[in-house]
Every structure is written in structure tokens, then in C-alpha cells.
Amino acid sequence: MTETHTSTEMMTIAASRALRNTDVCFVGIGAPSAACNLARLTHAPDITLIYESGTLATKPSILPLSIGDGELCDTALTTVSVPEMFRYWLQGGRITVGFLGGAQIDRFANLNTTVVGDYAKPKTRLPGGGGAPEIATSCGEIFIIMKQSKRGFVEKIDFFTSLGHGEGGDHRARLGVKTKGPTKLITDLCVFEPDAATREMTVVSIHPGVTRQQIDENTGWKVRYANKVTETPAPTAGELEALRAIHARTKVAHGDQV
Amino acid sequence: MAQFMSLAAAVEDNIRDGDAIAMEGFTHLIPHAAGHEVIRQRRKRLSLIRMTPDLIYDQLIGMGCAEQAVFSWCGNPGVGSLHRMRDAIENGWPNPLAYVEHSHSAMANAYEAGAAGLPFAVFRGYIGADLPKVNPTIKSVTCPYTGETLATVPAIRPDVAVIHALRADRAGNVLLEGIVGVQKQAVLAAKRSIATVEEIVDDFGPRNLNAVILPSWTVSAIVCVPGGAHPSYAQGYYKRDNAYYKKWDAISRDRDGFLAWMKTNVLEKGPETFAAERARLAGH
């Protein structure tokens, strides 16, 4: 590895690698959108990307700022109405992977994007769930991308916006949910996967140059590590080049240069 | 039958204080010009229904037009918070804002139920989520065939739906294409409706046979407002003004700055300003 990279680039690239060429992916804005499009431009050219605005199999050349930018519709195979998107495609079980992020996450990958503090009298009002409550239970599995910090990775989230593994163990199944839930949590420091029995998110891979101490210091609960923890392969020159190129195109298109 | 009228007259005739209004458009075709007119006419105590309140409701809320918001995602897409809506919820400024919060699935289903004349929508949702604990309108039914527990929400039946569409023809039929969102459902669920359009044409001419067309007898008022979705966009006419969405973060962050901006750009202006934005963005 000769190139240097940022921790955010490592996070996005690690997330993109988790996607398969055969996936049908429900994409969120921000880091998920970058990861999904990077996958499409590198190892997974046939991946199907779906945005909740109704655009099916879209191939944007720049990253959209919103889930409904014209670029998504222009490059989509077809565009359906929003009720159809949520009823037939999401609830109908056609999506293999959903991407989520949040303001707060707990050890079982339950997410909060609704409020900090009390719901009725919030300290901070966040945007809310949007598609997340049903994405979390209707997609085959869930990948979560989030930068790690004590503020975000908390012992107890203030609001359950979307279900991860609930209280752990077989909680999802007891609620009647048949999908896998969060199978990967990709951060700027490492990759977590759920423990086979407890479903607690467990570190399986640490990004190059990151220490366990750093991970512990940026997590609000006592972090569990898998028996065998590997080092995340560093970004390749090709991956970095593709990611930086899409960000550069996006910047120009969104008028950031003005 | 749809009537062609000025924006001021359309709002005057159709939107009353205390109405439940749905100004829809999922990122695409958001009826911003109509929102400005509602602000200029100083409508009060509105219940504002929209999946994503976006800048249009941030402005209405900040100007004191709303007493309630019904929504499923209240951010500035890709940018951050809707500061005026947050200020109303967190600090009660300029007035307290009640809110009824849903997921996107729930609202999309609730609009469909409204259009279909059903009292409620049924779907597989909210499992393991906290919203049902804080929104008492979210309930459940047991499927009579399988025994599965399914979520229900009441149908959305607005007093008025407001949309921005691409074109109307002289007969008053309204056409939209691209990301069509929930506008058809919102109009068919509502008692009255206003459609602003980019242009009025003699005839739609050759078109996609499956384009979304609202027949004239489903629409109350049609207003030609070129650029009327700006800073949202109209497919084939102009692009989304993403730089403006980013700028809104700074404009809306502070109460005085927001009020000054609204005075200069909304209260002292009319719908004709939108055409200039369309011209500016059309070339891009």
C-alpha cells in the first residue's frame, strides 16, 4: 500500500466490498450511497441500486444529494410511485440488502434517528425514521455504516427508530421477523458482525493502523472481539481512485465550486 | 372541472385557515411557489401533511402558518436539519407545533387508502419500533387468513392537496412524469386540489401511454407557474438546485436571518420570480 487514505474512505470502501454483484440494494443518502455506487463502479457492475424515491436499477454518474435527484431517474431502468416502492418492492421482499445509518446505535444494532432526549420534549429533534422502520425488517439483511464515537455508540439508545437485534438472541424471530437484520456494522475504525448466539455486534476486522484501544475509547459499551480478528485489507489504488473520482464529479455537479 | 386561475386566486379559493393540507412531491416537483403564496396570504393553524416536510414546510412553519405537522422524515436531504421545524418542536417558536410522526411506508400506504376511499391502511410495519408508543393513531389488526399481526394507520384525507406538475392541457388535464411520488394518491384522497404546472399546452401530443395523468374533473384549480418547484425540480425543465438546498442551512439557522430572507424573497415577491430560477437552471 503506497497510497494514504482517510478513515472515512476506508469505511466507505469496506462497506462497498460487502456488496455482491447479485444484490438488490436499497440505498440511503450519504455514506451508503457512496459505498453502493463504488461497488457498482468496481467489483459489482451488475448490482441493482434502488432509492426510495422509486428509481429502480439506477446508475448515477454522480452521487445524488437527495434520494430523488433527477440523475437517479434519468439513469434508472424504470421509476415507480412511492407507494409501489414501499409496498411491492420493499414489503414484497424484493430487496436483498438495505443500508442504514443513525445518530445512535446500541450493541444489538438497534438504531435511533428520531430524538435525543424525551420524545415529547426532545433535547435534539433528529430527522426521524423515513423508510428505516420497514427497511430494517423487510430487506434480506442490513448493513449499517456509522462513524464510531462515544456519543453515537451508546449503552442505551433514546428511541428505537428501527429494529436491529432487539434485546439480542432470537428477539427478531419472537417478533415474527423473518429477515436477518444487521449482519455488518462498518465504521471508520473496524467491522462488526453479530455473534452467532447472542447477536451482539462483535468486532471481526480492524482497519489498518487502528488499535483496540481506539475502538474501546470510541464505544459506549464494553466491546466484544471475535476469537479471530483480522485486519481489513487496505484500500487498493483502484478503489481509492474510483471513490475520489465520484466525489470530485459530485462536487462539481452540486455547485460546491461556486 | 379544473379552473385555470392565478396562484393568488387558487390559494384564496381553496385553502382556509385550519385546513389539513398535503403539499406533496417526493423531492421532485415540490410545489414551492404555492407554499410561498400560502405564506403571503398568511394562512393560520394549518395541519401540514407531507412525507418529507423539506424546505417548503420549514418556511411555512417558521412563518407561523402551522399548528400541526404530519410527516415521516423531517430533514434537509443530504444537508442536515430543518432548523425552523426543529425550533418549533424544541422551543415552540414562532408557535408550538404538534406533530404526528410516521414511517414512509405508513404515509405512502395512508395516502393510497385515502385515494381508495378506505378508512385505514394495512401493512407489515413498525415491528420492534418505538413510533407506535408515541403515535396513538398507529394500531394493528390480525389478518383473518393467516393470523399475522399487521400495522394499520388511518387513511390520509386532506382538505386540500397541492402539487406541481409538468404540464396541463387546455382541457385542464394534468400530466406528471419522472419521480411521481405520492401526488396522484394525494390529489385523489383530497377534497380539493391545486396543481401548479410548468406550462399549459394545447394538447399533450405523443406521450408515454403510462404517464401519470390527473383528469380535469379530479383537480380544482390549475395555475401556470414556470419554475414553480424551485429549488426542487421539474424533470425535463430544470434540475434540482442542490446548491440552494445547502445554502438554506445557513439562511434558516437563525430566526432573524430567516425572517429577513422571507421578507425579501417571499413576502415582497410574487410567483413570477420562479421563472428566473428556471431559466438559470435550465441550461445546466
Q: What is the mean pLDDT of residues B100-117?
A: 98
Asked whether residue A257 is domain-assigned, the answer is no
Catalytic annotation, residues of A:
52
Please tell me if residue A258 touches chain B, with a CB cutoff of 8 Å. yes
**Stated pTM of the model:** 0.96
CATH number for the domain spanning A192: value is 3.40.1080.10
* Distances from the Cα of B58 to the Cα of A63, B119, B214, B249, angstroms: 25, 29, 28, 11
In chain A, % helix, strand, coil (3-state, to 5) comes to 30, 20, 50
User: Distance, in angstroms, between B126 CA and closest chain A CA?
Assistant: 6
* B129 contacts A160? CB cut-off 8 A: yes
> Which residues, in sequence order, are CB contacts of B282 under 8 Å at separation 6+?
B237, B238
Domain borders along chain B are 3-40+157-282
Q: What is the pLDDT of residues B119-150, one digit of tens each?
A: 999 999 999 999 999 999 999 999 999 999 99
Task: Tell whether domain B3-40+157-282 is in CATH 3.40.1080.10.
Answer: yes
* The pLDDT of residue B107 is above 60: yes
Asked whether residue A67 is domain-assigned, the answer is yes
Q: What is the mean pLDDT of residues A82-99?
A: 97
Count of other CB atoms within 10 angstroms of residue B208: 10
What is the predicted pLDDT for the residue at B283? Answer: 67
Asked whether residue A104 is domain-assigned, the answer is yes
What is the predicted pLDDT for the residue at A3? Answer: 61
Please tell me if residue A122 touches chain B, with a CB cutoff of 8 Å. yes
Cell numbers at B230, concatenated: 424551485
Asked whether residue A1 is domain-assigned, the answer is no
User: Distance (Å, rounded) from C-alpha B40 to C-alpha A52?
Assistant: 33
Domain enclosing residue A42, as ranges: 7-251
List alpha helices for B116-213, DSSP H: 131-134, 183-189
The owner of cell 406521450 is: B207
Confidence at A106, pLDDT banded by 50, 70, 90: very high
Nearest CA in chain B to A132: B103
Asked whether residue A42 is domain-assigned, the answer is yes
The type of residue at B103 is: S
User: Distance (Å, rounded) from C-alpha A68 to C-alpha B234?
Assistant: 11
Domain count, chain A: 1
- Asked if residue B231 has a cis previous peptide bond (ω within 30° of 0), the answer is yes
Nearest to A53 among B72, B179, B246 (CB): B179
Q: Percent of chain B at pLDDT above 70?
A: 99
Dmax (CA) of chain A: 53
Q: Which residues of chain A neighbour B89 with C-beta distances below 8 Å?
A: 122, 125
Closest to B182 measured CA to CA, from A58, A52, A12? A52
User: Distance, in angstroms, between A181 CA and closest chain B CA?
Assistant: 12
First to last CA, chain A: 35
Nearest to A258 among B105, B179, B243 (CB): B243
Q: Contact, A180 vs A135, CB < 8 A?
A: no
* A114 contacts B103? CB cut-off 8 A: no
Burial string for A193-228 (b: 16+ CB within 10 Å, else e) reads bbbeeebbbbbbbbbeebeeeebeebbbeebeeeee
What is the predicted pLDDT for the residue at A258? Answer: 39
- Residue A186 CA to chain centroid, in angstroms? 7
Q: What is the mean pLDDT of residues A184-188?
A: 98
Cell numbers at A42, concatenated: 468496481
* A172 contacts B128? CB cut-off 8 A: yes
User: Distance, in angstroms, between A253 CA and closest chain B CA?
Assistant: 9
Q: What is the pLDDT of residues A51-61, one digit of tens each?
A: 999 999 999 98
Higher confidence at residue A191 or residue B283?
A: A191
What is the predicted pLDDT for the residue at A257? Answer: 44
Q: What is the pLDDT of residues A240-250, one digit of tens each?
A: 999 999 999 98
Q: What is the mean pLDDT of residues B269-275?
A: 96
Nearest CA in chain A to B150: A176
